[in-house]
């Protein structure tokens, strides 16, 4: 195969550092795995039964591109009740990753700039590249808060989109209502598209969730069932926003993903009405345990939501600390996977309590191993 066959954009996209850690995990015996960014509980039984029923009833062909009517109507009613925006339209996507691909492809021209907050979810940078855009990073270290002055300074005539995520991966940060309102109004004033990735909205532990759509009716919201209902492999999400944007996303879905998996959409009808508060309560307890155990040995900011901690490495770089962890059978993700800064590492506490206990003991031991060096 000739190297000339490969498109230039592919050389700007690196293989996921998270996948590399997963590959390492397969080679270790009984590793303490704090790397996996997905719920550790199984999909609730009623949802699984609904999927089985849909398959048995023959709902296995394509659905309408925008999603089956009952699911669209159910989510649209909830969105209308929450925001009361007359122009806000819902459609069903093939996961939130699919929705992010669609919205960036629909909005970004070659050379357009997309503002993201550093550290960022790994997919953002590469999806912007795929769309032909250029990422502009706004640094949020050390406390991962949004500084509106930094956002204003990052805006240029080429700024097309601000991509926002709260609760955030990898930091677990939940933006305050004041931060969200300020960002929403700034985007509206500057006529910049604001995309809000709300996949972790169910997991807010210290304050109620707030969306920028509350203050900016033009906000495009991305959400899904993957994290809240442990349906990561089912590839089912939704998006809502101003109709003229959503119609372009639906048009593009028709010629890419075609539709979200049809039988899964019927299961999502049951998922929508499934109470996940018990899972949220469990993860809040896990968050509290992890922070209490690690706060004396690590600098931890964020951690108000999702199921991640993003501590600063107590010695060396984040990569050096993560490598030492792997050599001690502990799997964590180096922060440079999410950022140009190699100072931190990500922990996922979506795991059984015993694994978290083992992980904390290993982390504290590693932190103290070079304390006096």
Q: Give residue limits of the domains in the chain.
A: 3-43+276-369, 45-272
pLDDT at 10: 84
Of 34-38, 84-88, 292-296, minimum mean pLDDT range: 34-38
**Which residue, 362, 335, 333, is CA-closest to 24?**
333
How many Å apart are CA 73 and CA 282, to the nearest integer?
Answer: 31
Q: What is the mean pLDDT of residues 120-131?
A: 95
CA distances from 326 to 20, 261, 329 (A): 12, 37, 5
Contact 274, 115 (CB under 8 A): no
How many beta carbons lie within 10 A of that of residue 279, not counting itself? Answer: 21
Fold topology of 45-272 = 3.40.640
How many Å apart are CA 312 and CA 339, to the nearest integer?
Answer: 13
pLDDT-based confidence at residue 13 (cuts at 50, 70, 90):
confident
**pLDDT tens profile 57-106:** 999 999 999 999 999 999 999 999 999 999 999 999 999 999 999 999 99
Q: What is the CATH number of domain 3-43+276-369?
A: 3.90.1150.10
pLDDT-based confidence at residue 53 (cuts at 50, 70, 90):
very high
pLDDT at 373: 53
**pLDDT tens profile 244-272:** 999 999 999 999 999 999 999 999 999 99
pLDDT at 30: 82
Q: What is the mean pLDDT of residues 267-281?
A: 97
Share in percent of the chain as helix, strand, coil (round to 5): 45, 15, 40
pLDDT-based confidence at residue 18 (cuts at 50, 70, 90):
low
Q: What is the mean pLDDT of residues 11-39?
A: 76
Structure tokens at 14: 């690196």
Element spanning 322, H or E = helix 318-327
Number of H helices, E strands in the chain: 12, 12
pLDDT-based confidence at residue 25 (cuts at 50, 70, 90):
low
pLDDT-based confidence at residue 15 (cuts at 50, 70, 90):
low
pLDDT at 9: 84
**pLDDT tens profile 349-361:** 999 999 999 999 9
- 3-43+276-369 against 45-272: fold identical: no
DSSP notation for 192-222? -EEEEE-TTTT-BSSS----GGGT-TT-EEE
Counting every residue, how long is the chain? 373
């Amino acid at each position: 195969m000739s190297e000339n066959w490969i498109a230039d954009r592919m050389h700007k996209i690196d293989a996921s550092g998270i996948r590399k850690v997963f590959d390492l995990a397969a080679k270790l015996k009984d590793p303490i795995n704090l790397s996996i960014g997905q719920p550790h509980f199984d999909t609730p039984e009623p949802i699984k039964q609904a999927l089985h029923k849909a398959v048995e009833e023959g709902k296995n062909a394509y659905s309408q591109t925008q999603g089956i009517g009952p699911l669209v109507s159910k989510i649209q009613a909830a969105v209308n009740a929450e925001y009361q925006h007359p122009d806000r339209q819902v459609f069903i996507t093939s996961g939130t990753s699919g929705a992010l691909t669609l919205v960036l492809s629909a909005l970004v021209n070659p050379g357009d700039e997309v503002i993201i907050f550093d550290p960022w979810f790994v997919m953002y940078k590469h999806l912007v590249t795929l769309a032909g855009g250029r990422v502009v990073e706004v640094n949020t270290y050390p406390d991962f808060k949004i500084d509106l002055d930094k956002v204003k300074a990052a805006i240029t005539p080429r700024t097309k989109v601000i991509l926002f995520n709260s609760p955030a991966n990898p930091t677990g940060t939940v933006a305050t209502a004041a931060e969200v309102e300020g960002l929403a109004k700034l985007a509206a004033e500057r006529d910049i598209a604001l995309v809000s990735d709300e996949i972790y909205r169910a997991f807010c532990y210290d304050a109620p969730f707030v969306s920028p759509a509350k203050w900016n009716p033009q906000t495009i919201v991305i959400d899904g069932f993957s994290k809240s209902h442990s349906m990561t492999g089912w590839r089912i999400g939704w998006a809502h926003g101003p109709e003229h944007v959503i119609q372009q996303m639906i048009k593009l879905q028709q010629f890419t993903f075609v539709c979200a998996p049809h039988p899964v959409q019927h299961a999502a009808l049951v998922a929508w009405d499934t109470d996940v508060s018990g899972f949220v309560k469990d993860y809040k307890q896990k968050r509290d345990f992890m922070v209490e155990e690690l706060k004396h040995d690590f600098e931890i900011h964020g951690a108000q939501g999702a199921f991640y901690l993003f501590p600063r490495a107590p010695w060396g770089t984040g990569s050096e600390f993560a490598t030492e962890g792997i050599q001690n059978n502990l799997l964590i993700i180096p922060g440079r996977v999410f950022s140009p800064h190699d100072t931190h590492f990500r922990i996922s506490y979506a795991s059984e309590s015993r694994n978290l206990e083992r992980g904390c003991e290993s982390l504290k031991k590693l932190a103290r191993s070079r304390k006096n060096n």
